[in-house]
Amino acid sequence: MLSHVRKFACPRAFGAFGLGGRKTPSEHLNPNLETAMPRRPLPRCPRPNCSRKTTTYTKHSLLKSRRRTQRRYRCTACNKTFAANVGTPYHRMRHPAKLFDQVIALATEGNTRAGVARALGLSPGTVARWIEKASAHAQAFNELKVQKVEPVELQSDELKVLLSQKSRPLWAYTAIEVWSRLWTTTLVGKRTLRNTVLHFRDMNERCRKSGPRVLISTDAFKYNAGVIARTFGPSCVHVQVIKRFRKSRVVHADKRLVLGAPWQFDDAMERSEDSKTINTAYVERLNLTIRRSLASLQRKTNATCRSIESLAGQLELLRCSYNFIRPHSSLKFGRVNRTPAQQAGLVSERLTWRKIFTARLLDRPDLSFRSRMRARAVGQAHLSGAG
């Protein structure tokens, strides 16, 4: 698909003048995806049982509080009332939405919770609660939007994370689509066969497999070869980079073709605009961005995460920021730096936290913070009752 591009124009050389070999977003847009983000979502009945297709609503009342006046609506199908921002993290919030966005922006730029709280004059508990709310929304947003990626080259790696300095290490599985720099999947847990299967299966489900063989580069982790062969099968060419370390420096890197014939590898390499040799440099660069952007993952930090769920949530939040908000410095086209999601054709513009948080995700009933807290309380009561 892209083989002609590489021969005539190097996207790196001409990218700065807007003559890059890569497609512009409008050329690359995926017709099956809803790429435009709604400016402000129309009010919609949040009840899961309500037949939404036929639902209409009427204005019901004005809810007045000290800070603002909010319109409430009544669903004509189920006769219940609701606020326009139900299903977003802004629902029932007493502070301005702008402050919420600021907190999340600072938290995904490597600041600690306490630091964010001090800078904006909030309590650390509020910041923690908002991050949790935003994480749940970001996870649903990623789930919905990172779909049907057309991969050229995928790289996968595991990042060592510590919940506290004394605990046993966990691993964050990460994967990047090199051509668009899209961070496709993430998973936190032990380095087990099960987690490796879940990681690669998720990666596979987010990709379209109609095109030619995808080049997958990984490290020499023992489960990778078997799991990739089982999950991707004949739709990929798998290569491994086996590094030898001495005093925590790489002294030698062996490169090995694990799955696929040599001619298929040459073909896949030809299609990759970015890699000249077998490497995992792009996913390792992503891992560095992740480490620098989350306070709990920095080295020798005392800002550790308490739970695996909280860490997974923060990673989802960062993934949202990395894919949809942060312009990528190696995706420069003229004066514009695109985001990875733009490059992958998932959205048509650079998003903001406001656009992400006001996106309609009402089809996921688990999004309401209160209902999740309630469900957790019920679960804990159940567990303690059973114990």
Stretch that binds Zn ion, among 70-78, 151-159, 233-241, 360-368 (CB under 5 A): 70-78
Dihedral angle sign, alpha carbons of residues 263, 268, 270, 271: positive
Q: How far is the CB of 50 from Zn ion (least distance, A)?
A: 3
Instruction: Return the structure tokens found at 20.
Output: 């890059």
212 close to 182: Cβ distance less than 8 angstroms: no
Question: Cβ of residue 64: shortest distance to Zn ion, in angstroms?
Answer: 24
Q: Is residue 81 near Zn ion by the rule CB under 5 A?
A: no
Question: Within 49-68, which residues bind Zn ion (CB under 5 A)?
Answer: 50
Closest distance of CB 79 from Zn ion, Å = 8
**Site mask, Zn ion, residues 12-51, x = CB under 5 A?**
---------------------------------x-x--x-
CA 382-385-387 angle, 5° bins: 110
**Does residue 362 contact residue 368 with C-beta atoms inside 8 Å?**
no
| β-strand pairing of 214-219 with 236-246 | parallel
Q: How many positions of this chain bind Zn ion (CB under 5 A)?
A: 6
Q: Is 119 left (phi over 0), alpha (psi -120 to 50) or beta?
A: alpha
- Crossing angle of helices 124-145 and 113-120, in 10° steps, is 110
Residue 137 beta carbon to Zn ion: minimum distance, rounded to whole angstroms: 22
Q: How far is the CB of 80 from Zn ion (least distance, A)?
A: 6
Closer by beta carbon to Zn ion, 45 or else 318: 45
Q: How many alpha carbons lie under 13 Å from residue 284 in its C-beta half-sphere?
A: 7
Nearest approach, Cβ of 41 to Zn ion (angstroms)?
16
**Alpha-carbon span 76 to 55, nearest angstrom:** 6
Q: Binding segment for Zn ion among 74-82, 134-142, 189-197, 202-210 (CB under 5 A)?
A: 74-82
78 part of the interface to Zn ion, by CB under 5 A = yes
- Closest approach of Zn ion to the CB of residue 54, in Å: 10
CB 37 within 8 A of CB 361: no
* By the rule CB under 5 A, 77 interacts with Zn ion: yes
Instruction: Assess 86 for contact with Zn ion (CB under 5 A).
Output: no
What's the closest the beta carbon of residue 361 comes to Zn ion, in angstroms? 17
Nearer to Zn ion, 28 or 47 (CB): 47
Binding mask 236-265 for Zn ion (x = CB under 5 A): ------------------------------
Q: Using the rule CB under 5 A, is 75 a contact of Zn ion? A: yes
Q: In Å, how far are 114, 115, 123, 302, 357 from 120, measured between CA atoms? A: 10, 9, 9, 21, 20
- What is the rounded distance in angstroms from the CA atom of residue 341 to the CA atom of residue 181? 8
d(CA 128, CA 115): 12
Tell me if 316 sits within 8 A of 137, measured CB to CB: no
Choice between 309 and 363, CB closer to Zn ion: 363
- The burial of 8, by beta-carbon neighbours within 10 Å (0-12 exposed, 13-18 middle, 19 or more buried), is given as exposed
Query: What is the closest distance, in whole angstroms, from the C-beta atom of residue 42 to Zn ion in the complex?
Result: 14
Choice between 45 and 367, CB closer to Zn ion = 45
- Smallest gap, in angstroms, from Cβ of residue 76 to Zn ion? 8
**What is the C-alpha to C-alpha distance for residues 131 and 357, in angstroms, rounded to an integer?**
12
Which of 6/47 has CB closer to Zn ion?
Answer: 47
Instruction: Give the x-and-dash track for 290-319 against Zn ion (CB under 5 A).
Output: ------------------------------
Nearer to Zn ion, 80 or 306 (CB): 80
105 counts as binding Zn ion under rule CB under 5 A: no
Backbone torsions φ then ψ of 251, nearest 5 degrees: -105, -25
Sign of CA pseudo-dihedral 50, 53, 56, 57: positive
Binding of residue 229 to Zn ion (CB under 5 A): no
Q: Which residues bind Zn ion (CB under 5 A)?
A: 45, 47, 50, 75, 77-78
